[in-house]
A and B are shown apart, each in its own frame.
Chain A
Amino acid sequence: MPVDTSPEKAIYVLETGDFQTLLDAVMERGHSIFGPVLRDGAITYDALHRDTDLPLGWNDRQQAGSYRLVKTKRKTFFAYAVGPHSWKKFLHPPSDMLCAAQRIDDRFSINEPDREHPRRAFLGVRSCELHALAIHDKIFTDGPFINEAYRRRRQDILIIAVNCSHPSETCFCTSLQTGPRATGGFDLALTEVLTSGNHHFIIETGSAAGAELCARLPVRKAARTDIEAAEKVTSAAAKKIRRSLNTEELRETLDQKFSDPHWGQIADRCLACGNCTMVCPTCFCSTVEDTTTLTGEHAERRLKWDSCFTAEFSYIHGGSIRSSTLSRYRQWLTHKLAYWFDQFGMCGCVGCGRCITWCPAGIDLTEETRKLQEKKFVIRRTNGR
C-alpha cells in the first residue's frame, strides 16, 4: 500500500511526448496497468499498454441522469471526470470465488481457491477515488475479520493519481474535502498542464516506489512557475464545482428526519434499480451465490455485488424488512451520509457524483439531502416561536 513517508516529496515535469516512458517504467517494474479507456460510449477502466489507449482528446458532459462524450481539438490525456466504473471492480470484483467444496459420499471438504496475486498499477486515480479506496481499506482490512481476497489484491497496487482539471457537473468533492487535488495515498500524482504554448505533466512523488520510477524517466525538476501553473489547474477546477453537500450535523439531521414525508416524494421517482449502489465507489455490499456441478460433487460459493435496493437484501422468513422503495432509498442515503460515521468514523460519500449521473430518474442526492436539511430549519424556527 502506498504510504506518504517518502524522505522528500519531489516534483518533476514530464513532457506529454514522453508519457509512454512512464507506462514502460511501470510495466518494467512488473505491474500490469489499468486506466481510463473508451468503451461503449463511456470512459471506463481497463487494461492499457500505450498512451494511445487513453481517451485522448475526449471530454465528458455529465448531468443528473445523463452522460455524454465530446471530442475536442487538442490531444488532452485526462480532460474528463470519473465514468461509471470505479476501482472497486478490480479489488472487490462483481463476482469473486470464496471457496470450493468437494463431496465424496457423505463427506465433503471445503477449500480456499487459488488466489491470484496480481501486481497491478492503477493509472488515473482521482482524489475522490483515493478517498474511496481508503474507505474500502478500512471496511475490508481493518477488523478482526477481513476480506482476504481484497487484502491480497490491494497490497501491491501502484497508484498513479491524476489531479482533476475537468470536473463534471455532478462532482461535489470540494464540499467534502475529497478533491479535486490528491493529497495522499498515491505513489505518483500527475497534473496535466495545458496552456497555449505548453502541454506537460507535473509529477509529484508520494512514496519511495514513486520516487524510484521518476528516477528512470526523462523528467526535469519542476521550477516554481511549473508548480504554480499546476496549482492553478486544480484551483480553477475547484472553482468550477457547483454542487455541494453540507455535512454539518448531517448525521443527526438525517436521523431525526427518518419519518419525513420527503422520503415518499423521492420514492415516487426512484425505480429501485440499484444503479446508484453499483456505480458508487464505496458501496461494499455483497451476497453469496451457491452453485453445484451437474454431478453434484463439486460446489462453489461466489461473492457477488448486492444492493440494498433489492427485496432479497433484507429478506427474512415471512418477508423483506425493507419492503417499500421509500425504505430502500432511505437506507442508501442514510447509510452513506449518516450511519457510515457510526460504523467507520467517516462519511460514506466521496462526492464523485456517479450516483447522480447514472440514476435513470436523475435523482440528485445533494439536492434531496438539502431539502431534508432545509426542512429541519423550518421546524426549528416554528418550535422557537
Chain B
Amino acid sequence: METTHTDARPAAAGGNPWLSRPYLVRKKSRETADTFTLELTPPAEDGGFIFKPGQFNMLYTFGIGEIPISISGDPAKPETLTHTVRAVGAVSRAIAGLKPGSRLGIRGPYGAGWPVTDITGRDVVIIAGGIGLAPLRPAVHYLLAHRGEYGKIILVYGARTPADIVHRKDLEKWRSRFDIEVLVTVDRATGDWQGNVGVVTTFIGGLRFDPSSCAALVCGPEIMMRFTVMGLRERQVADNSIFISMERNMKCGVGLCGHCQVGPSFVCKDGPVYRLTDMKDVFIKREM
C-alpha cells in the first residue's frame, strides 16, 4: 500500500503490543444524551501523550472489552488525552459510565492521521457528520494553531438534530473567529433551532474555496462520506485531494488480527485516514 501521509508518527513499537496502560479519568463532560468527552491524565512516567490529528487509541474497560476510539483533543496539549465516546454497546457504554477518579486502559496512538503538514498553502474544507467531528477536532486545533500556513479554512458540520451536536462550545468559539468559516446544520430541526437545516452534502455546492488547490477532510457515517465525495467531485475537487477516515471492526489496532481489512488494506495501520484514491473501491464494491 502506498502511504499517503508523511506526518503519521509510527506509534511506540516493540514488546507486547497488547499491553495497555491505566489512565486516570480526570474529567467527564456530557456532549449529548449518549455522548461524553473524557479528559484523561497519562501516567506520570509517560510524560504526556503525543499524537497526530486523526490517530486513534484502543480503550480497555476492565473485564468488558476494548474498542478503537479517535483522539479528540488538542495535539498541542499532550498533558491531557481527550476522547469523545458515544455509548452504543457494551464497551462504549461502560466507558461512558466511568466516573472521574476511575481508570481506563489506553494503548496507542495508532494509524495514519490527517495530512495536516502535507496540505500547507491550500484551502482546507472540513466536512464532519455526527460523532465524526471527534477525529477532526484535533485537526481543527492544529490548523488554527498554524493558521498562517493555510488558505481558507471551512468547517461544515452536520448532526441529526440540534440535540445531537457534539463539541458545541468549540463550534461556537470557532464560529466567532474571522479566520475560519463554520457552517452547522441539522437534518431535522427541533425546538427553537434557528440555524441551517439539511444534510451536509446540500451545502457543498455553495462553499467558496479553490477546488483546484484545496484539501477536503471528511469524516462521518459511510453513507454520508459517499455523498460528500460525490458533492466534492461535482465541485471538481480531485480524488487525491480528498481524505476520508474509515471505520472497521478492530481487535488489535496494529495489523495482527485481520479484522479491519478492506481489500488490500488494513484500516488500523494503513488508515484510518485515507487519500480517496487509495480507498475508492469501498464506495463501489459493496461488502468488500
Question: Chain A residues in contact with chain B, CB under 8 A?
Answer: 98-99, 101, 103, 106-112, 139-140, 143-149, 258-259, 284-288, 290-292, 296, 299, 301, 303, 306, 308, 312-317, 321-324, 326-327, 330-331, 334-335, 338-339, 342-343
Is B28 an interface position by the 8 A CB rule? no
Residues of B within 8 A of A101 (CB): 60, 62-63, 105
Main secondary structure of the interface of A (DSSP, over half): mixed
- The number of inter-chain residue pairs (CB within 8 angstroms) is 134
Question: Chain B residues in contact with chain A, CB under 8 A?
Answer: 1, 10-11, 13, 15-22, 60, 62-66, 88-89, 101-103, 105, 247-249, 251-252, 254-259, 261, 263-266, 269, 285-288
Q: Given A99-B16, A299-B63, A335–B287 Cβ distance below 8 Å?
A: no
Are A291 and B63 in contact, CB atoms less than 8 angstroms apart?
yes
Closest CB in chain B relative to A360 CB, distance in Å = 23
Contact of A143 among B1, B101, B255 (CB under 8 A): B255
Residues of A within 8 A of B60 (CB): 101, 110, 301
Residues of A within 8 A of B89 (CB): 317
Main secondary structure of the interface of B (DSSP, over half): loop
Cα distance A342–B20 when bound, in Å?
30
Closest CB in chain A relative to B220 CB, distance in Å = 14
Cα distance A299–B248 when bound, in Å?
26
Contact of A339 among B102, B103, B261 (CB under 8 A): B261
Are B249 and A148 in contact, CB atoms less than 8 angstroms apart?
no
30 A-B pairs (CB sep. < 8 Å)? A101-B62, A103-B62, A103-B63, A106-B101, A108-B105, A110-B21, A111-B19, A143-B255, A144-B254, A148-B17, A259-B285, A287-B257, A288-B65, A290-B63, A292-B63, A299-B62, A301-B18, A303-B257, A306-B258, A308-B258, A313-B259, A316-B248, A317-B88, A321-B288, A323-B287, A330-B287, A334-B263, A339-B263, A342-B1, A343-B266
Contact of A258 among B64, B88, B285 (CB under 8 A): B285
Chain B: which residue is nearest A111 at the CB level? B19
Closest CB in chain A relative to B23 CB, distance in Å = 11
Since A143-B255, A290-B63 are in contact, a sample of 12 more A-B pairs with Cβ atoms closer than 8 Å, ordered by chain A residue number, is A99-B19, A99-B20, A146-B17, A146-B256, A148-B16, A149-B16, A288-B65, A290-B66, A306-B257, A312-B249, A322-B287, A342-B263
Chain A: which residue is nearest B287 at the CB level? A327
Are B248 and A321 in contact, CB atoms less than 8 angstroms apart?
yes
